[in-house]
């Protein structure tokens, strides 16, 4: 049973997240041979103040 975690900044629409889950599930099923009903996808959303690059939070750059 493959488990996939997608970490991304918040702000995507429900339709975008639905499409992401469907495509990730398809890709994992096709490449691993696991049936789609065994593929688990977690979406972890972060706010810009919880994500930093080069010592600066993304929220500080807006």
pLDDT in tens, 24-34: 999 999 999 99
Integer Rg of the chain from CA: 15
pLDDT tens-digit series, residues 7-20: 999 999 999 999 99
How many other CB atoms are there within 10 angstroms of residue 25's CB atom? 19
pLDDT for residue 12: 97
For residues 22-47, give the mean pLDDT. 98
Q: Per-residue pLDDT for 55 more than 80?
A: yes
**Looking at 2, 21, 48, 57, which residue is catalytic?**
2
* 52: confidence class by pLDDT, cuts 50, 70, 90: very high
How many other CB atoms are there within 10 angstroms of residue 51's CB atom? 14
Q: Is residue 38 within 8 Å of 2, Cβ to Cβ?
A: yes
14 is a catalytic site residue: no
Half-sphere exposure of residue 35, counting CA atoms within 13 Å on the CB side? 2
CATH domain 1-55 topology: Macrophage Migration Inhibitory Factor (3.30.429)
Taking the C-alpha atoms of residue 54 and residue 32, their distance in angstroms, rounded to an integer, is: 35
pLDDT for residue 62: 65
């Amino acid at each position: 049973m493959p488990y996939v975690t997608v970490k991304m900044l918040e702000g995507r629409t429900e339709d975008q997240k639905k499409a992401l889950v469907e495509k990730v599930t398809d890709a994992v099923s096709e490449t691993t041979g696991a049936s789609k009903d065994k593929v688990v996808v977690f979406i972890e959303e972060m706010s810009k103040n919880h994500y930093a690059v080069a010592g600066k939070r993304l929220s500080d750059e807006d």
